[in-house]
Structure 1
Amino acid sequence: MSVRIPRPFLILPLAILAGCASSGAPRSGKATPEVNALYDRMNQASKGYEASIDQARRGDTPEADRTRKQALDQLKDASARCALTAGCDQQRFAAVFDRLLRLKDGSFIEGENADDTEQEGEAGAQPGDVAGSVAIGSLPQAQRSVTMLKGQQFSDLMVMNGPVKAALEMWLTQLRPNLMDAYVNYQMMRYKMWPAYKKADLPEALLFGIMAKESGGKVHAVSRSGASGPLQFMYATGLRFGLSNDGGFDQRFDPTMAAQANAEYIDEQLGVFNNNLELTLAAYNGGEGRMRRIAAANPGAGFYDPQIYGQMSAETRDYVPMVLAAAWLFLHPDSYHLTWPKVDGDAGEIVLKRPASIAELTVCLGSAQGMSEGWFRTLRNLNPRLDPQMSQPVGARLAVPKQLEKAYATSCTDGPWPILASDLHNAVKILAPAPPAATSAALANASTPASSKASPGASKRYTVRRGDTLVAIARKSSCADVEDIARMNGLKGHQLKVGQALKVPVCR
């Protein structure tokens, strides 16, 4: 049974501690005795609050109220003194309050969503750290895998400052539909993506936050700079982590492989940046080489320190707090008046009883199982190698949510809906422009139209201008492929420099 703590007892400390958290002060090194005394009071207040929850469970409500009030008063006073004490890390107090806020309904103690998975416990916890307090011991193992990162609580690694709060508002207002779509898409693919993060001992919330910001859970997303897939890998970075071309299929689009590569990348960069999550995310977005140079020139500085933050692009300044805010909402929806939809994403499979494309299956499934927006995106995500307009033969196996297995048997094997779907699909095929007969064979092996093929061995010089990307240059040439240009110029990645001379194929 969950124990509910009245919200009025939590509102005032929230206002006080949120103000502290907004400062974004970097964590200090060795603490003074005065600072350590404040930290001790903070930990005592935290334990007192937890004791009040136990008292409430035993039915001693008056004593629970007194203990809780005393603990919150102690925490508020220590927090206020911290703001006036040199070297005191105010973010610790914000992190403690966040944990108390999440404990108010007993959800972490009761162990909802627990499973039988065995994981490492309390790794890296240090005496006096919030991450090494009673909270970790009370977490079920499954919850630890959601909230822990390299032995530390996710809340301890996140600065709840102005940019993150602004990102929270953006997700909860203008981008709320995008956030909800990303959540549904992720839950449908969770069984493909989560195992890689779980194996790497990385929090699931972080995976969701990156995916929500990068692609919204659309596995075939491609950015203007050429980043591709649900986690938006650049071509060269993808190759470094095992994402290549498999028989014409770009493995960056595979959610399982992309999650594995992402987990390896994040784990690698956490090692480089001493488990600083914000710098790691900045490297993921803005380039690891650039981020390493900036961090090396400013040892000990955090992402929001002026000497680091001032050198970040506007995109990266937005990216880091947006990822963290989405991850935060994944963990704490109730604290922000957010309700995630219930999604049944259990793995399933159908064997086609009649030829059908993903487009046709989408039509005949309609809004089965209450999916008002239809099943096109889910079917595409779970079967990334398939052309959605290409009919698959009888006997072909398609990955689907388990809940669709019965719906397929009911609606798509016989009756009016598959006939309607086939009729509509045939109309699309009729309207699709056919390649000229003389060039159809050439098109089968070319990535660009035959009318603008490159002359063998011929090239021209192109000087890189500000704002250029390989994708944009390839489009200007009308016959050049991005990877062909990269190979012609010995480019290991897609990074260009203003004034750089490139060879570009000559079109004929």
Structure 2
Amino acid sequence: MPVIVGVSRGQMFLMSYFPVARSLRLAPLAAALGLLAACATGGSKPAAPASVKALYAQLDQASQGYETALQQARDNDTDASEKTLKQSLDQLRDAAAHCENTEGCDPQRFFSVFDHLLRLKDGSFIGDESPDDKDNESPSGQVAGLNGAASLPQAQRSVILLHGQKLSELIAMNGPVKAALEMWLTQWRPNLMDAYVNYEYLRHEMWPQYQKADLPEALLFGIMAKESGGKVHAVSRSGAAGPLQFMYATGLRFGLGNVNGFDTRFDPADAARANAAYINEQLKAFNDNLELTLGAYNGGEGRMRRLVGSDTSVSFYDPRIYDQLSQETRDYVPSVLAAAWLFLHPNSYNLRFPKIDGVPGHITLKRAASISELTVCLGEAGGMQDGWFRTLRNLNPRLDPQQEQPVGAVLQLPKPLEKAYASRCVDGPWPILASDLHNAVVPVVPVRHDPPPVSKARRYTVRHGDTISSIARRQGCSSVHEIEHLNGIRHHSIRVGQVLKLPACRR
């Protein structure tokens, strides 16, 4: 039950309960909400200026409007709910914008309320259309590209629980997560958009594996966005491979390996299944502590278990844990959580993911062609400005993109491209052009093994205090042995005024 403090109804929403087992991880958010409630009581602080009171009044009105929108949604009046919700959020955003330039106004009050309202929405629009996600739905109300059990409205997929707990309650909106949000919305924004597009075309293969494992889709997206950006054939410098970047030995533990010459770490469905099994294994080990689980996924479960010991309720950000991890892992965990959060609430962060019709389809080749040739002849069909090479590779991971596939071969591709293939890639000029480019002959230049250049000696006049070692060190590119050999010197014996030959620099 909510904890009610002696404040007006407009501030009651600030004091929602948090599960005890998560109190440490949600401490930053809970503290912020507690401070906000304390401010509302007035205390001994001087009265706020009228301009600040007016902004705080808008904050109260926005919160009341939000509660009204939730009740309208519960009463199945979705149109009214959406309108009220939009008005409330607009009012909150407007007041927050003015707060920043108003002396005496505390912006943190607005940030805390905004964060809390998003969390409240996650638990209240089950089965209804979420305003954040409406633009990504197909006209039928189902997410394009899915069939069967995976055909869920976006609002439903945004409130899938992680082992009985709302995902939004497991993401502490603290400094590292906020910093990661800013990175995704600025420097990493192109990567985030690419990851979303890639994921939407792979969703029919990957999401059902997470759904079977009772894991939230936003978590899958967050991991994939950070690991590979949805590039199925990605390989890291350490040897991690596939869309979810499994090391070979770890992949073997979860059924990934070499099958008929193909490394199944590159198979989106197999990788998602293995990832879900790994995440559930680590959640069990860390008592459903999501942050520690993600830290184990990146930094190694053995290391994380040694750091955590028996105290699985410890916060990932506790210095005993956080300070002992690599910078990569310290960045990885909040980055995954921030990407998952944006997947749930794009519009609330001024972010618009593109509309993607990822319904799976296939073609049977009517003329021999490689993936590269198909990419050329398809061009920008369907408005894909970056072309279809990445998508075709992702959907056909077992094929060499440069290898021509025979007539009759079946290739996977988004269903809307079936007509584009028939009109562009079977007859006419485009397949001829694509074939001509693909089969172009590039001259092969034989590798030359030229002898090393002959070094040209330089000259140096010995000065008072010089030694062969000091001369070599000062020149920065000559050794004592080379100087002695070149000048016939024995026992390091040199004299002032002597002219020495110095070997050429060999840095």
Alignment TM-score, normalising by the size of structure 1: 0.63
Question: Any idea what SS the aligned residue of 1:427 has?
Answer: coil
In the TM superposition, what whole-angstrom CA distance separates every residue of 1:135-174 from its partner, at most 9, and x where no partner exists? xxxx989715754211111111011000000000000001
Q: Which amino acid counterpart does residue 408 of structure 1 have in structure 2? A: Y
Superposition map of 1:250-289 within 5 A: 250-289=263-302
8 Å Cα contact 1:164/1:324 also seen in 2: yes
Matched, 1:157 2:183: no
- The structure having more radius of gyration, on CA atoms, is 2
Please give the alpha-carbon distance, in whole angstroms, between the structure 2 residues aligned to 1:178 and 1:14: 36
Tell me: CA distance 1:391–1:202, structure 2 relative to 1, closer, same or farther (3 Å).
same
> In 2, Cα distance between the equivalents of 1:177 and 1:49?
32
User: What displacement does 1:300 show?
Assistant: 2.9
State which of 386, 397, 400 in structure 2 corresponds to 1:384: 397
Q: Which residue of 2 aligns with 1:407?
A: 420
- Matched residue, 1:295: 308
The equivalent position to 2:71 in structure 1, one of 34, 54, 59, is 54
Q: CA deviation at 1:353?
A: 0.5
Q: Which residue of 2 aligns with 1:97?
A: 117
Q: Which residue of 2 aligns with 1:357?
A: 370
Alignment of 1:33-48 (within 5 A): none
| Native 8 Å contact 1:46 1:96 kept in 2 | no
Structure 2 Cα separation of the partners of residues 402 and 101 of structure 1: 34
**Deviation sequence 1:477-496 (CA, Å, 0-9, x none):** xxxxxxxxxxxxxxxxxxxx
- Aligned counterpart for 1:200 among listed residues 199, 213, 231: 213
Q: Distance in 1 between matches of 2:12 and 2:430?
A: 58
Give the alignment's Cα RMSD to 1 decimal.
Answer: 4.0
Match of 2:329 among 284, 291, 316: 316
Q: Find the partner of 2:246 among 220, 233, 239.
A: 233
**Cα deviation digits, residues 159-205 of structure 1 (max 9, x gap):** 10000000000000011001000000000111111110011111110
1:249 match = 262
Whether contact under 8 Å (1:102, 1:332) holds in the other structure is no
Separation of aligned partners in 1, 2:398 and 2:153: 38
Q: Distance in 1 between matches of 2:389 and 2:79?
A: 51
Structure 2 Cα separation of the partners of residues 60 and 384 of structure 1? 46
Aligned to 2:388: 375
Equivalents in 1 of 2:415, 2:298: separation in Å? 35
Closer, same or farther in 2 for the Cα pair 1:27/1:414, shift >3 Å? closer
Greater shift, 296-305 or 107-116, is seen at 107-116
Once residues 203 and 291 of structure 2 are traced to their aligned partners in structure 1, the CA distance between those partners, rounded to angstroms, is 24
Shift of 1:383: 0.3
Secondary structure class of the residue paired with 2:309: helix
Q: Which residue identity lines up with residue 290 of structure 1 in the other structure?
A: R
- Partners of 2:307 and 2:120 in 1: CA distance: 36
Match 2:202 to one of 182, 186, 189? 189
**More deviation in 209-218 or 240-249?**
240-249
2:187 to 174, 177, 185: 174
Q: Amino acid of the residue matched to residue 297 of structure 2?
A: Y
Report the AA paired with residue 403 of structure 2. Answer: M
Q: Distance in 2 between matches of 1:59 and 1:381?
A: 39
Return the offset for 1:51. 4.5
Residues 301 and 422 (structure 1 numbering): CA distance in 2 closer, same or farther, change over 3 Å?
Answer: same
User: Is 2:358 the counterpart of 1:338?
Assistant: no
* Residues 60 and 298 (structure 1), Cα distance of their counterparts in 2 relative to 1, 3 Å cut: closer
Return the offset for 1:249: 1.0
In structure 2, how many angstroms separate the alpha carbons of the residues matched to 1:176 and 1:260?
27
Q: Deviation of residue 432 (structure 1)?
A: 7.1
Of 422, 428, 431, the match for 1:418:
431
Greater shift after overlay, 197-206 or 140-149?
140-149
Please report how far the alpha carbon of residue 301 of structure 1 lies from its aligned counterpart in structure 2 after TM superposition: 1.2
Partners of 1:58 and 1:345 in 2: CA distance: 27
Identity across the alignment (%): 65
**How much has 1:110 moved relative to structure 2?**
3.8
3-state SS, counterpart of residue 215 of structure 2: coil
Report deviation, 1:278: 0.4
Q: Quick check: 1:191–1:347 contact (8 Å CA) kept in 2?
A: yes
Written as runs of structure 1 = structure 2, the 5 A alignment for 1:436-455 is: none
Contact in 2 for aligned 1:145/1:198 (Cα 8 Å): no
SS where residue 433 of structure 2 aligns?
Answer: helix
Counterpart contact for 1:354–1:413, Cα < 8 Å: yes
- Which residue type is aligned with residue 384 of structure 1? P
Q: Is 1:347 matched up with 2:367? A: no
Is the 1:281–1:320 contact (alpha carbons within 8 Å) kept by the matching residues of 2?
Answer: yes
Would the alpha carbon gap of residues 389 and 141 (structure 1) be closer, same or farther in structure 2, given more than 3 Å must change? closer
8 A Cα contact 2:374 2:434, kept in partner: yes
Cα pair 2:14 2:116 within 8 Å, conserved: no
How far off its partner does 1:97 sit? Answer: 3.2
Describe the SS at the equivalent of 2:341. helix
